[in-house]
Chains A and B, each alone.
Chain A
Amino acid sequence: MAIAEEGIVRSELRWAAISIGVVSVIMLAIIYAGLVHHINPPSNIETIDPKTLHLTGEFTEPNLGTRVAADGQITSRIVATQFTFVPRCIVLPANRPVTLRFATPDVIHGILVTGTNVNTMIVPGYVSQVHTVFTRTGDLLMPCHEYCGLGHSEMSATVRVVPPGDFKPDSQGGVSCDAR
């Protein structure tokens, strides 16, 4: 063989350096996205007892759906349960920062909103929280994307993104699909 062992090791180390360079670029891209666009994975270690979720104030049935707080913060609260979302349809404005909060009284669920980067698991014992800004209007599909039992295939909700001008909270700050 024409090539000596040191030559072989050197070529391998050169390639290893290139490989590490490539993955470093990926890590830098992740850091960039984190610093400039505030992109984080949906982590929010906020515990809540699933067995008594239906007895809480925040996740009581009439409080679910989109609400605008006194300080203008837009939050939508959704319960994922075997095998429906409550409410099945939520309204959110485009081009405004919104927060979605999910909880479940029973098993593991998960959601994604088609065409967006809204994606989170919903784990019993925790409140899942996602921050986003919707850029396009329309009716988006929000299915349950994690196996939650035999009814998983039929579990789906709608996210209705409306132009900010059409987003009109009622006297309690709530906005619901039925009003449209």
Chain B
Amino acid sequence: MTHARNLTFAHLWVAFIAFTIALVLGVWQMWARSPLPAPFLTASTYFSSVTAHGTATAYVLTTFMVMGFGYYVAETALARPLPAPRWAWIAFALGVAGTLMAVVTILTGRAAVLFTFYPPLIASVFYYLGLVLVVAASWIWCVLMLIAMGQWKRANPGRPVPLAMFATVANAVMWLWTTVGVAAELLFQVIPAALGLKAEMDVGLSRTLFSWTLYAIVYFWLIPSYIAFYTMVPQAAGGRLYSDTMGRLTFVLFLLYSLPVGLHHLLMDPQQSNAFKFLQVALTALVSVPTLLTVFTIGASLEIAGRLRGGRGLFGWIAALPWERPMVLATGLAFLMLGLGGFGGLINMSYGMNAMVHNTSWVTAHFHLIFGGTVVIMYFAIAYAIWPTLTGRAAPSLALQRLQLWLWFIGMLVMTLPWHTLGLLGQWRRVATFNYADPIIAAWGPWVIVSLIGGVILLASGLLFVYNLLEFNVAREPNAEAPGALYATAVHPPARVPATLNGFRLWNALVLVLMVLAYGYPLAQFFIIKSPEALVHRVDERR
């Protein structure tokens, strides 16, 4: 490893510090919403906290994690130094500067618009510029990943790109497509309004542009976890990856089907039509396929590992797996949470059932379980797996790592299972204070408190995670494994793969076709129908 070590450290520490702060805020927010009196609570502090929590988890933790892990994969999977490391550091600086800029505006109460921005509510322009810098940093990362893969392919003509890097670049390509929506919304609508250049804006258009980004972005977040599933978990379990080809196909399917489906976040919105919602719901059904494929492929890979360790019978291989290894344990816990959260997702996409849960706590429970649960638990596992190669020391205590993972899993279930129920009972979102005098709402109180306890367990787990990483600095045993040893081999490692599974030209063309078909008219309609615009409401200045 030449440049990646410091880059990965820097990015991941920023990610985890933002994450820890977000956990503290999250617990306070749950306390505020519960029947128990919470300190510092006003409408303004609550919604500023929600904005901070969302920004830290959805934009900072994720982007920095993806970038940092990407640099690690680029050097270790390709076994070559990162191209243009100076640009990687420039991107890091931009990302940190942007984060700080956004944070300052939130702390001074000038950005209570929540991380999904609620136009025509408009915050200080520096909040949006801060996020623009973070996205710009990520774009530099995307270019560096593309260059790294291109250089490797030229140096290794005809050979298949290592799966971990192929998936990382698939993520980069997908991210470039994904950010078009929010970039257009910010550049043409929100930032001009924040600068005072426009006094009104087309809210239907901005919601549709944002929906372009809002679903695909969750795949940007989850692909590192899936990279771990395919390329690290089989190795950690002592087995092999069942199928390298299906792995590549899975990441290609994510690239194709995570983008033309954003309208499923607008199923209850008036400004989009039944017909295009139906089309995008059908495409959403398809995006569940790569996840189902993953469960099968990784399950099969683990079965190989279990049987190699002596597991017999239909399910005996499960008990035989090395659950004491954090990567394996995390995968098992992740799959359990994926089952619950994924099921919730299938409900959300069926608009008849969506009508019963939209904007209730069910939605909050769903994305905390699937993202905070499945994806983030694998972020922990990735960190534990690569920290020895980054620090040069062996893990001081696997038991504490396992404890931290179990606490995260338990806390997540304790927090989100009552939330799912409360959502079905009608509890709605984004509330600073509930009226617990109302008998309907009073019945929810005990469940809200149970959820709060789950949140506290999660905070404890998060703090233990940071402690576990810091402990490496005082660990005594040196690390014995080379970084490349982390990666799994396939049962039948391919000598060659077709160009379509070694590059993205065909898939980019198909994404373009899909986006034109799925989003073409839904966006064009705002220029044909000329919807009336709403006055801008500034949340950052005196009236």
Contact = CB atoms under 8 A, between A and B. Distances in A.
Contacts of B120: 106-108, 124
A26 B431 contact: no
Interface string A1-27: 101110011011001100110111011
Most buried by A among B270, B272, B354, B426: B270
A115 B431 CA distance: 19
Most buried by A among B46, B269, B429, B535: B269
Contacts of B112: 150
Contact of A33 (B352, B529, B539): B352
Nearest to A14: B296
A51 B296 CA distance: 54
Contacts of B118: 107-108, 146-148
Contacts of A115: 426
Nearest to A128: B270
Nearest to B242: A8
Interface string B3-39: 0000000000000000000000000000000000000
B336 interface: no
Interface stretch (B168-176, B278-286, B323-331): B278-286
B359 interface: yes
Interface in B202-260: 202-204, 207, 240, 242-243, 245-246
A20 B359 contact: no
A118 B359 CA distance: 12
B271 interface: yes
Interface string B286-323: 10110011001100100010000000000000000000
B226 to A, nearest CB: 16
B425 interface: yes
A149 B359 contact: no
Interface string B329-356: 0000000000000000010011110111
Given A47-B529, A108-B118, A147-B114, A119 B274 contact: no
Contacts of B359: 110, 112, 119, 121, 145-146
B529 A107 contact: no
B47 A143 contact: no
A27 B350 CA distance: 8
B44 interface: yes
A120 interface: yes
Most buried by B among A51, A122, A149, A151: A149
B101 interface: no
Contact of A1 (B289, B296, B356, B492): B492
A45 interface: yes
Instruction: Give the interface size bracket for B toward A.
Output: 35 or more
A118 to B, nearest CB: 7
Interface in A9-68: 9, 11-12, 15-16, 19-20, 22-24, 26-27, 29-30, 33, 37, 39-51
A117 B288 contact: no
A153 interface: yes
B500 interface: no
A40 B351 contact: yes
Contacts of A126: 204, 270-271, 531
A20 B289 contact: yes
Contact of B270 (A22, A30, A120, A145): A120
A104 to B, nearest CB: 8
A153 B350 contact: no
A168 interface: no
B274 A43 contact: yes
Given A23-B285, A120-B270, A143-B428, A39 B535 contact: no
B440 A114 contact: yes
B289 A16 contact: yes
B269 A123 contact: yes
Given A9-B243, A9-B245, A123-B203, A49 B532 contact: yes
B429 A43 contact: no
A88 interface: no
Most buried by B among A129, A141, A147: A147
Contacts of A48: 532
Contacts of B119: 108
Given A107-B118, A147-B114, A153-B431, A118 B355 contact: yes
A93 interface: no
Contacts of B429: 145-147
B351 A1 contact: no
Contacts of B355: 41-42, 117-119
A53 B486 CA distance: 62
A117 B285 contact: no
Interface in A66-92: none
Given A3-B491, A9-B245, A107-B534, A30 B281 contact: yes
A85 to B, nearest CB: 14
A8 B301 CA distance: 11
Given A47-B532, A124-B534, A12 B243 contact: yes
Interface string B423-457: 00110111111110010100000000000000000
A108 B278 CA distance: 23
Contacts of A40: 274, 351
Given A143-B428, A150-B44, A41 B534 contact: no
Given A19-B292, A40-B351, A147-B118, A121 B269 contact: yes
A46 B293 CA distance: 41
B537 interface: yes
A121 B114 contact: no
A124 B200 CA distance: 11
Nearest to B349: A26
Contact of A123 (B271, B277, B288, B351): B271
Interface string B514-543: 000000000001000111111101010000
9 contacts: A16-B292, A19-B289, A27-B285, A30-B278, A44-B270, A47-B531, A146-B429, A147-B47, A147-B429
Given A110-B358, A125-B533, A145-B358, 7 more contacts: A37-B352, A50-B534, A121-B268, A122-B270, A126-B270, A150-B112, A153-B43
Instruction: Name the 7 nearest CB pairs between A and B, nearest first.
Output: A114-B426, A124-B534, A145-B428, A145-B359, A49-B532, A23-B285, A19-B292
Interface of A: 1, 3-5, 8-9, 11-12, 15-16, 19-20, 22-24, 26-27, 29-30, 33, 37, 39-51, 106-108, 110, 112, 114-115, 117-129, 141, 143-153, 156
